Amino acid sequence: MNARNAYDTLLAHSRASADIASALNLLSWDQQVMLPPAAHAGRAGQIGALTAILHRRACDPALGDWLAACEGSDLTRDAASPEAANIRELRRDYDQAVKIPESLAVALAQAASLGQRAWELARKENDFNAFAPHLSTLLDLSRQKAEVLGYAGEAYDALLDLFEPGETVAGVAPILAELRDAATDILAAIADAPPPAPLPAGPYPAAGQAALLAQVTARLGLPRTASRLDVSTHPFSTLIGPGDARITTRFDEGDFTKAFFGAVHETGHALYSLGHAGPAHYGTPMGEAASFAVHESQSRLWENQVARSLPFWEFMLPLAAEQFPQLAGCTPEAVFRAVGATHPGLIRVDADETTYNPHIVLRFELELALIRKDLAVADLPGAWNEKSQAILGLTPPDNALGCLQDVHWSTGAFGYFPTYSLGNIYAACLFEAAGQAIPDLSARLAAGDFAPLLAWLGTAIHEKGRLLRPRALVAAATGRTPTAGPLVRHLRAKAAAIYGI
């Protein structure tokens, strides 16, 4: 078989696997949004069965033969070509997959399905002991996964690399520390400044919130014919397949901003997914996200750099006031200050921009200790409370507001949390570059014209898929190596605008 035939066969196999993965994604979405309570045990078996099929396809020895026929051929001569990127990334995926026994892959999938349901119930009942056995199982399986994958530094590196290729504990720990210290400095600088006035009190009826979310998501560019918005315990976004991006949020009638910014955040994810998963590249690495941090950069950019800006509220406030008359007396400046204010709190997903990254530091340090076996599962609640007090200055009153608040560990996603802060960094880098490329960007946002920004992101990031590794992708888009500098500048400038420091 010549290289071109091998490549075509390779992509056909990859696309067929993507169709199966789409069904798996739909099962997972349904479990979090619509599944009847009595169906969870059966759903775990269904997810396990499809996972086994996908794993066998990912480990098929024929893949190795097709890849070998492509490597070193004319298809890889230009390293920046889509063909070369597909071959390189499919090799990475194959080499990882063949290291993981099918029994381990299925066990992880089933444990994640059962663990997520156990977490939902445990969080609702504030019952850590009910979730602890599931967490222990997921940790044990994740350590096994790290060992079979292999690593040069430590086990956590192997897990982190699955979410963020090339990143290690040694690489992300200093970045997280820099962001934690920057947050500490900003909090100290605004400590004596009067806080902005809060938004008017509710109620903000859920029906009105849903109507407003439909308006803002469509205005940002999310096509209604290719998406839907639902309610779930933990807001998320998932791509089922081409033209099918699902997002969720949750409503609080006392505070419309929770659902609002949650939906904008998930819209950023969905726009990215739809931007690289078109028919031409679907089912291949060129039709997939570069990494979890790059994915997060898109959601955080729309949520923070755009939707928490003054120009955005110059456009959005009249629309919001149509749904909620109590906002009619507000000015865009007042809303900007209110939604950008710093309010140290216990809940990560409700955290403001300044205190968000310390939340990631808290989780990173704890999950690292769990993987290293420096921290026992039984001791997690106490360790969480101690570290929360040390890092956030707050101690949770119960585990539902502490170590049970996030879904990630219930699905075995150890190594995921650092990608949130890396995503914040990439978002700030990209928005700075977008402002240089679109000189009238602020005026466009104030007019509700988000198309130029979406188009720039589409060309610079979305359409690239996995053409480049994350840091290289952001560097190519911005013209400079990504650092925490733009994010720290953004946070300081916002604090200065809101608090007058």
The structure tokens 């315990």 sit at 233
Do residues 333 and 310 touch, judged by C-beta distance below 8 A? yes
State how far the Cα of 236 lies from the Cα of 240, in Å rounded to an integer: 13
Give me 13's structure tokens: 């196999």
Give me 118's structure tokens: 């156990």
Half-sphere exposure of 195 (CA within 13 A, CB side): 12
User: 3-class DSSP state for residue 248?
Assistant: strand
Count of H-run helices and E-run strands, the chain: 20, 3
| Residue 394 burial class via C-beta count within 10 angstroms: exposed 0-12, middle 13-18, buried 19 and up | middle
Residue 396 DSSP symbol: -
Do residues 350 and 340 touch, judged by C-beta distance below 8 A? no
State how far the Cα of 57 lies from the Cα of 68, in Å rounded to an integer: 17
Residue 376 DSSP symbol: -
The structure tokens 């014209």 sit at 449
What are residue 248's DSSP bridge partners? 230
Do residues 98 and 56 touch, judged by C-beta distance below 8 A? no
The structure tokens 């029994």 sit at 103
How far, CA to CA in Å, does 494 sit from each of 192, 239, 331, 437, 453? Answer: 16, 33, 17, 22, 20
167 is catalytic: no
**Residue from 89, 164, 178, 266 carrying the catalytic annotation:** 266
How far, CA to CA in Å, does 401 sit from each of 162, 294, 319? Answer: 28, 28, 33
Strands 237-241 and 227-231: unpaired
Closest CA to 107 of 172, 151, 55, 169: 55
Helix (H) or strand (E) holding 379: none
Do residues 292 and 163 touch, judged by C-beta distance below 8 A? yes
Which active-site residues does the annotation give?
A: 266
